[in-house]
Amino acid sequence: MTTTYGSACLSCPLRSPQRTALRCAARGACLALALFGVACPARAQQPQRDTLRQQRLAPDSAFRLSPIAVTAVRPLHVIAHLPDVQGGVIYAGKTTEVILLDSLHANLAQDVERQILGRIPGATFSETEGSGFPSNGVGFRGLDPTQSIEMNVRQDGVNIAGDLYGYPETYYTPPSEALQRVEVVEGAGALAFGPQFGGMINYVVRAGTPGTKPQLTSEETGGSYGVLNAFNAVGGGTGPWTYYGFVHYRREDGWRPNADFWQASGYGSLTLRAGDDVQLRLEQTVLRNRIHMPGGLSDSAFAINPRLSFRARNWLASPWSITALHLDATLSPRTRLRTTLSYVDADRHLVWRNEDGGPAALDTIDPMTGTYAPREVERETFHNWTLESRLSVDHGLLGRPATLAAGIRAGLNDMHRFEDGPGSTGSDFDMSLYGGTWGRALRFGTTNLATFAEELVHLTDHLTLTPGARYEYLRSTASGYTEVTSAFAPRTFAYPLLGLGAEYRTSPSTALYANVTQAYRPILYADLTPLGSVTLVDPALRASRGYSADLGWRGTLGEAVKLDLDAFYLWYGERVGTRTMTDSTGATFEETANIGNSVHQGTEAYVEFDPIPLLGLPRSLGSLDLWASFAFVAARYVSGQFAGNRVEHAPRVVDRTGLTYTRGAFATTLQASYTSAAFGDANNSAAPTNDAEAGLIPAYTVWDWSARLNFGTRYALDGGINNLTNAHYFTLRTGEYPGPGIIPGIGRSAYIGVRAGL
């Protein structure tokens, strides 16, 4: 088993302070085992490399290294860390994780995030894909996971949310079968990537292999409640060209009534390598779907039967298209340039029986009219152009090696929002307007310019320091109309951000790291638009500002133990929310405003080990990887009307443990996921109220099992059971779409699939 990805190759005799395993001549060999603390096999090739250096003096001569084969009797670690420098970004001193999909045994066919990303300490998920959202959301350190709104979400480095600066909801994520890895930067991602306190998550799609004939992959999966998942891909390369593409289709009848959906996505990339120094890649991504939404439940209905549904006429579609052009150029042996031009063209179409009356309001035929009540129609369109360019330069500073990573970002975002349209009294997916026009029709525009730079300085052979800065300029405009009088004056914002990171190599395979980085979250478009005559917007509304700090120790001990231990502190200043106010006449009204500051602090730990070599047992027994991912988060408001209350959507404890046993062609994984209780609202309402969002989100534990049997190198059989004990739980209360009310998690379900590679 080999890999081509990992952290700095700490044991390579050829390494310079900037060299990583990706640049090492042994490539997968050094890399695969530098992560695990195993001696680098490249040392055995040192005489050949000495000869290679001599050959470089004779440019017309040729020299070929003998091949290096790396094998492993146990799977490579699933979780790794980003190298010090990659793709024009400095990661040294930051809390980073990389999930290697080929080493993961999980339900990829249904994108079960708690299995795929669950090893990242403190990750929480809004499991809503089966109830109306096209994808589940992820959050870290007590931040709201709904639609990943607190994260900077990317695919191959390209932002894929609706609008990063005004509507950061994620309606598309690539199918897990298509992914090579998932990269995560927690907390300290603002300098390199822009807004959001939660950091950055990047889904890296597979690529074709140069000089290979077309390689076909097919994965067909069926399961409970009408699950049918088909993934087919092709990749290869000829001459200077490489290519990769996939077509994906999934349909489900749904665990609840009125929860059926289908989605189809496609992706294609074409790469031209113009010599050794220039690479040009064109990517196109398309998603089409139609989702039937069963609606939310009241607490009493959930207690009776979480599979109930009181909505049969709610529908969503979110057609999404992403086009990207990447240029990678090596301008000199020390200088590299990466530039990406991208365009997101997307829509969100919603027709539903709205939230009037809350989750207890039945959607039934009116005996007076003989028809259902008219539905509401909503539509948003997104058109986002982005240019992002990064330059990294290796150089000397005060007699020591250093790396400068700098860049610019320019973006034009255009969003049209149409809401409160009079819909039909029918039950099908009908976006037509009947007897009127939109109640709200708005257009939002954002111009973004940013520049950023970080400097990686090697103070000693073991200690690095990384200061950095980013400057963001935003100009937002709005036009259109709502049901209340509003003044849409253009707004201009400037956000200077600073950060400082440090890393100390405590051994060839372990390191201490620390970081303090400022961050911000722009004012969302929804915060600027009042929704009725009793809702106002504070004219002094400001973007949220704050910072995050990390201190940790990570690495590998010997051949069998991998760990990452850290403590964090997040200051989330001037949070935006709703407060109750009283006017001069004594009447009360709701106002969107900066409601206070919150502090998120805690500890995170990940430990993974194989007891078989630790106990001195023979390798013929196979391998047994035991792992634990734990986080304790204390997230509270420290000012404003909610001071002392816990932050909503922030469980105190997130604990996941699991084991993977592998022997020969067989592998199996058992995972337990525990999430402690959280609140759905900042008032910390313990008992249900008339507010669909208010109330407790109880603690829950979910068990998942999966297995794989390989037939040679080309075929495999996958299967498993999600929610093995059929736990009744939920991760979200919502006052609006896709509710209102409680959105239940999915009960026990089974799946089985066949994989083939040709």
Is 89 domain-assigned?
Answer: no
**Exposed e or buried b for every residue in 330-352, given b needs 16+ CB within 10 A?**
eeeeeebbbbbbbebebbbbbbb
Is the separation of the CB atoms in 285 and 267 below 8 Å? yes
* Statement: residue 369 has pLDDT above 80: yes
Nearest-angstrom CA–CA distance, 591 and 538: 6
Q: What's residue 65's pLDDT?
A: 58
| More confident of the two residues 601 and 479 | 601
Highest mean pLDDT among 31-45, 214-228, 616-630: 214-228
**Domain encompassing residue 208:** 204-757
* Statement: residue 487 has pLDDT above 70: no
Instruction: Name the residue among 87, 204, 167, 156 with its Cα closest to residue 378.
Output: 167
The CA-atom distances, in angstroms, between 359 and each of 125, 131, 531, 746 are: 22, 14, 20, 19
Instruction: Name the residue among 259, 318, 25 with its Cα closest to residue 129.
Output: 259
* Statement: residue 706 has pLDDT above 70: yes
Burial environment of residue 268 by CB neighbours within 10 A (0 to 12, 13 to 18, 19 or more): middle
Q: What's residue 486's pLDDT?
A: 57
pLDDT digits 0-9 by tens, 578-593: 777 777 787 776 778 8
* Statement: residue 561 has pLDDT above 60: yes
The CA-atom distances, in angstroms, between 674 and each of 122, 229, 632, 651, 686 are: 11, 28, 12, 10, 20
* pLDDT range class, residue 25, cuts 50, 70, 90: very low
Is 79 domain-assigned?
Answer: no
Burial environment of residue 561 by CB neighbours within 10 A (0 to 12, 13 to 18, 19 or more): middle
Is 182 domain-assigned?
Answer: no
Lowest mean pLDDT among 152-156, 217-221, 259-263, 693-697: 693-697
Is the separation of the CB atoms in 668 and 661 below 8 Å? yes
For the segment 604-629, the average pLDDT, to the nearest whole number, is 89
Is the separation of the CB atoms in 628 and 606 below 8 Å? yes
pLDDT digits 0-9 by tens, 404-443: 999 999 999 999 999 999 999 999 999 999 989 998 899 9
> How close are the terminal C-alpha atoms of the chain, in Å?
19
Nearest-angstrom CA–CA distance, 5 and 77: 12
DSSP of 345-404? EEEEEEEE--STT-TT-----BTTTTBPPPPEEEEEEEEEEEEEEEEEEEEEETTEEEEE
For the segment 477-486, the average pLDDT, to the nearest whole number, is 76
DSSP of 199-241? EEEEEEE--PPTTEEEEEEEEEEEEGGGEEEEEEEEEEEETTE
Is 96 domain-assigned?
Answer: no
For the segment 625-649, the average pLDDT, to the nearest whole number, is 95
* pLDDT range class, residue 14, cuts 50, 70, 90: very low
pLDDT digits 0-9 by tens, 663-683: 999 999 999 999 999 999 898
At 155, list the tokens. Answer: 């695919």
For the segment 48-76, the average pLDDT, to the nearest whole number, is 45
Lowest mean pLDDT among 343-352, 375-384, 388-397, 533-542: 533-542
Is 540 domain-assigned?
Answer: yes
* pLDDT range class, residue 40, cuts 50, 70, 90: very low
* Statement: residue 48 has pLDDT above 60: no
DSSP of 46-62? HHHHHHHHHHTTSTT--
Phi (first) and psi of residue 659, to 5 degrees? -140, 145
* Statement: residue 560 has pLDDT above 60: yes
Query: Pairing mode, if any, of strands 561-582 and 588-609?
Result: antiparallel
Is 83 domain-assigned?
Answer: no
Q: What residues contact residue 461 under an 8 Å CB cut-off, 6+ apart?
A: 17, 505
* Statement: residue 18 has pLDDT above 90: no
Q: What's residue 36's pLDDT?
A: 36
Lowest mean pLDDT among 215-229, 425-439, 475-489, 744-758: 475-489
Lowest mean pLDDT among 64-68, 438-442, 720-724: 64-68
Lowest mean pLDDT among 326-335, 385-394, 538-547: 538-547
- Residue ending a domain, among 52, 72, 92, is 72
Q: What residues contact residue 387 under an 8 Å CB cut-off, 6+ apart?
A: 339, 340, 341, 408, 409, 410, 411
| More confident of the two residues 755 and 26 | 755
- CA 580 to chain CA centroid, Å, is 34
Nearest-angstrom CA–CA distance, 485 and 499: 42
Does residue 687 sit in the same domain as residue 540?
yes
| More confident of the two residues 295 and 31 | 295
Is 265 domain-assigned?
Answer: yes
Lowest mean pLDDT among 186-190, 270-274, 563-567, 600-604: 186-190
Q: What's residue 409's pLDDT?
A: 97
pLDDT digits 0-9 by tens, 118-149: 999 999 999 987 777 888 899 999 999 999 99
For the segment 651-670, the average pLDDT, to the nearest whole number, is 94
- Residue ending a domain, among 17, 41, 72, is 72
Q: What's residue 362's pLDDT?
A: 81
**Exposed e or buried b for every residue in 504-538, given b needs 16+ CB within 10 A?**
bbeeebbbbbbbbbbbbbbbbbebbbbbeeeebee
Q: What's residue 23's pLDDT?
A: 35
User: What DSSP character marks residue 710?
Assistant: E
* pLDDT range class, residue 488, cuts 50, 70, 90: low
Average confidence score pLDDT of the chain: 86
Q: What's residue 10's pLDDT?
A: 36
Query: What is the tally of helices (H) and strands (E) in the chain?
Result: 7, 38
Lowest mean pLDDT among 17-21, 212-216, 334-338, 739-743: 17-21
pLDDT above 90: percentage of residues in the chain: 68
Q: In the chain, how many domains are there?
A: 2
Is 148 domain-assigned?
Answer: no
For the segment 17-21, the average pLDDT, to the nearest whole number, is 35
pTM: 0.89
Q: What's residue 110's pLDDT?
A: 83
| More confident of the two residues 63 and 233 | 233
- Residue ending a domain, among 24, 48, 72, is 72
Q: Give the CATH number for residue 296.
A: 2.40.170.20
Nearest-angstrom CA–CA distance, 466 and 455: 5
| Strand segments (E) across 508-622 | 510-521, 535-537, 544-557, 561-582, 588-609
